[in-house]
Chains A and B, each alone.
Chain A
């Protein structure tokens, strides 16, 4: 009966002090992440305001995923602390955290023999009691119907996940995450395995959701040009430490990007329609082909 007490306590707390405008959606205070002596994330101070769209950029092994892990609670901070909605992460119960913060995984949903409808319903797990009952069944049903319509999954609801394409499964994964009704969404390279159509599709759907519900988004992306289109602010990481922070316009300069990834400084052009900076890369010359610092 622990969960009952907890959820009641949470409601009480919400009534007594509704999340004030002042408290950031996510804040890190000297938070660091280390495994087996290796410092994956150096102590970092970082504040994400409600409704912001952040993209974290950096080369492989720069600590992007560890940083997301710190925020999602998958990794324990080896120093400092993480606050979600102004409250220390460690104080959240697991279900409570899953109602506040959701993670869209890189690989979407696995190709299981369960239906899309079942997969969406799983997103309601943090709201359901031990016997799978919703506090308000009708409202939850309406929510799931709305999500399915929104993601054009209505036709696919009775199809099994293993009958869907990778892009459709990623949509279903997004639907599951939406059913969690989080305030903060973490995206871990959500477009890594998708073609350009579905890359834009997923990013557009997230963008719409953010615009309508004031969702806070923190994404790890590899595609700089995609990042420049959607991010309000960028955080550039290298070897677990912040290299730069700011709007795409400010941060994405040939020098910064070239140094970040240890490549020839790219050519920067403005996107003809939306004006955001886009980067064009060229190969290193053959003589200089070895990545500096890599043995």
Chain B
């Protein structure tokens, strides 16, 4: 297991670093890969002096202040959503589960929509008003869904799924209503709900980082338990797992990680759904591999998706959620096709 993790993980990290160089190249100003590499290396403590300045200040500015923070944030948001998605699929034992299954995204959207609708974007807390509100309303939605699903001290899976669906459509209706009432030429609410990483500086990454790191480690530490869930909750309990407590804490942590990601980036669909499936096809159904590799895969996926979003139409940004859905939906169709043939880790995985 450890050797396989080393192999896949090493390949993933290598891909991530290569992608970093290549996505940094892309933009309105073309920069050679070698120079980007030198600029990055120059910033590293210790070995920086080995890379003398051969670039002008403007180029370093573009790489370090404009492109890099956005790419890093994309990687963090991708990792957060994919890790949360893997965790959701693990404890809910449902291949269609994703980080938004329990209604977090619609809760955050409602918070964001209210802030935008009433023109409070910079009230009280400056640029943090919207992310904080989105996080709080996302977490509140989770609390309501858990309360709805709770049945005699237990959290039955069908109850969770149904309560999540109900909350999503209810809150989604309010967001659509607010967005319809909005009379501005650019519908900001609609754009927020489709996700974007435009104009997010380093501070956003710094806010998200602890959620991804701590939440990710917690979920990884529960990967062995997620493996047991695949045998069914009853059997998992017989093997000594406290299934109710595990389900509760894993869903809670995964949802908070999701809420943190959504609050800085808006709603970016499909990452949390398809990345874990993709990893499952490559590395198999063992969650001890699936959780960390999903983080890497999600980071890679969103780095490239966001690069396409900002570069495909030249000056016009495409909403990130549109790109991920465009890439994600055909892939999902492919997965479905494969599972029908009964091969691959997916079809045999639902149990």
Considering only CB atoms, which chain A residue lies closest to B243 in the complex?
A94
Q: Is B286 a contact of A122 with CB atoms below 8 Å?
A: no
The number of A-B residue pairs with CB atoms under 8 Å apart is 66
Determine which of A72, A110, A162 lies in contact with B231 in the assembled complex, contact meaning CB atoms within 8 Å.
A110
Q: Is B240 a contact of A113 with CB atoms below 8 Å?
A: no
Q: Is B240 a contact of A126 with CB atoms below 8 Å?
A: yes
Q: Does residue A112 face the partner (Cβ distance < 8 Å to B)? A: yes
Please name all residues of chain A whose beta carbon is closer than 8 Å to the beta carbon of B235 when the two chains form the complex.
105
Please name all residues of chain A whose beta carbon is closer than 8 Å to the beta carbon of B241 when the two chains form the complex.
94, 125
Determine which of A123, A132, A162 lies in contact with B239 in the assembled complex, contact meaning CB atoms within 8 Å.
A123
Please name all residues of chain B whose beta carbon is closer than 8 Å to the beta carbon of A94 when the two chains form the complex.
237, 240-242
A180 vs B234: C-alpha distance when bound (angstroms) = 16
Please name all residues of chain A whose beta carbon is closer than 8 Å to the beta carbon of B232 when the two chains form the complex.
110
A95 vs B239: C-alpha distance when bound (angstroms) = 7
Q: Does residue A118 face the partner (Cβ distance < 8 Å to B)? A: yes
Please name all residues of chain B whose beta carbon is closer than 8 Å to the beta carbon of A162 when the two chains form the complex.
348
Q: Is A122 a contact of B348 with CB atoms below 8 Å?
A: no
Please name all residues of chain A whose beta carbon is closer than 8 Å to the beta carbon of B288 when the two chains form the complex.
132
The B interface is mostly helix, strand or loop, or mixed, namely loop
A98 vs B284: C-alpha distance when bound (angstroms) = 27
Q: Does residue A67 face the partner (Cβ distance < 8 Å to B)? A: no
Measured CB to CB, the closest approach of chain B to A229, in angstroms, equals 26
Which of B32-40, B107-115, B222-230, B257-265 lies at the interface?
B222-230
Please name all residues of chain A whose beta carbon is closer than 8 Å to the beta carbon of B284 when the two chains form the complex.
113-114
Q: Is A180 a contact of B286 with CB atoms below 8 Å?
A: no
Q: Does residue A97 face the partner (Cβ distance < 8 Å to B)? A: yes
Name which of A72, A94, A130 has the most chain B CB atoms within 10 A of its CB. A94
Measured CB to CB, the closest approach of chain B to A165, in angstroms, equals 15
Q: Does residue A197 face the partner (Cβ distance < 8 Å to B)? A: no
Measured CB to CB, the closest approach of chain A to B223, in angstroms, equals 8
Q: Does residue B177 face the partner (Cβ distance < 8 Å to A)? A: no
Q: Is A112 a contact of B238 with CB atoms below 8 Å?
A: no
Q: Is A113 a contact of B231 with CB atoms below 8 Å?
A: no
A128 vs B348: C-alpha distance when bound (angstroms) = 27
A105 vs B232: C-alpha distance when bound (angstroms) = 11
Using known A-B contacts A112-B230, A125-B228, A131-B221, determine if residue A99 contacts B286 with beta carbons closer than 8 Å: no
Q: Give the size range of B's interface with the partner.
A: 20 to 34
Using known A-B contacts A128-B224, A132-B224, A132-B288, determine if residue A111 contacts B351 with beta carbons closer than 8 Å: yes
Using known A-B contacts A94-B242, A112-B285, determine if residue A74 contacts B221 with beta carbons closer than 8 Å: no
Using known A-B contacts A110-B351, A113-B284, A113-B345, determine if residue A105 contacts B234 with beta carbons closer than 8 Å: yes
A176 vs B232: C-alpha distance when bound (angstroms) = 14
Considering only CB atoms, which chain B residue lies closest to A125 in the complex?
B239
Please name all residues of chain A whose beta carbon is closer than 8 Å to the beta carbon of B326 when the two chains form the complex.
none
Q: Is B231 a contact of A111 with CB atoms below 8 Å?
A: no
Considering only CB atoms, which chain B residue lies closest to A131 in the complex?
B221
Interface residues of B in 47-98 (CB under 8 A from A): none
Please name all residues of chain B whose beta carbon is closer than 8 Å to the beta carbon of A132 when the two chains form the complex.
224, 288
Q: Is A125 a contact of B351 with CB atoms below 8 Å?
A: no
Interface residues of A in 116-154 (CB under 8 A from B): 118, 122-123, 125-126, 128, 130-132
Measured CB to CB, the closest approach of chain B to A287, in angstroms, equals 43
Please name all residues of chain B whose beta carbon is closer than 8 Å to the beta carbon of A74 when the two chains form the complex.
234, 237-238
Q: Does residue A222 face the partner (Cβ distance < 8 Å to B)? A: no
Determine which of A72, A97, A113 lies in contact with B285 in the assembled complex, contact meaning CB atoms within 8 Å.
A113
Q: Is B221 a contact of A98 with CB atoms below 8 Å?
A: no
Please name all residues of chain A whose beta carbon is closer than 8 Å to the beta carbon of B224 when the two chains form the complex.
125, 128, 132
Determine which of A95, A102, A113, A180 lies in contact with B348 in the assembled complex, contact meaning CB atoms within 8 Å.
A113
Considering only CB atoms, which chain B residue lies closest to A111 in the complex?
B348
Q: Does residue B349 face the partner (Cβ distance < 8 Å to A)? A: yes
Please name all residues of chain B whose beta carbon is closer than 8 Å to the beta carbon of A176 when the two chains form the complex.
239
Q: Is B238 a contact of A103 with CB atoms below 8 Å?
A: yes
Q: Is A97 a contact of B240 with CB atoms below 8 Å?
A: yes
Please name all residues of chain B whose beta carbon is closer than 8 Å to the beta carbon of A131 when the two chains form the complex.
221
Determine which of B230, B240, B349 lies in contact with A125 in the assembled complex, contact meaning CB atoms within 8 Å.
B240
A109 vs B238: C-alpha distance when bound (angstroms) = 13
Please name all residues of chain B whose beta carbon is closer than 8 Å to the beta carbon of A123 when the two chains form the complex.
239
Please name all residues of chain A whose beta carbon is closer than 8 Å to the beta carbon of B221 when the two chains form the complex.
130-131
A123 vs B228: C-alpha distance when bound (angstroms) = 10
Q: Which 9 A-B pairs have the closest CB atoms?
A: A98-B240, A126-B240, A95-B240, A110-B351, A162-B348, A113-B348, A113-B345, A103-B238, A113-B285
- Could you give 5 example pairs across A and B, Cβ below 8 Å? A105-B234, A112-B231, A112-B285, A113-B285, A113-B345
Binding site for B on A (CB under 8 A): 72, 74, 94-99, 102-103, 105, 109-114, 118, 122-123, 125-126, 128, 130-132, 160, 162, 176, 180
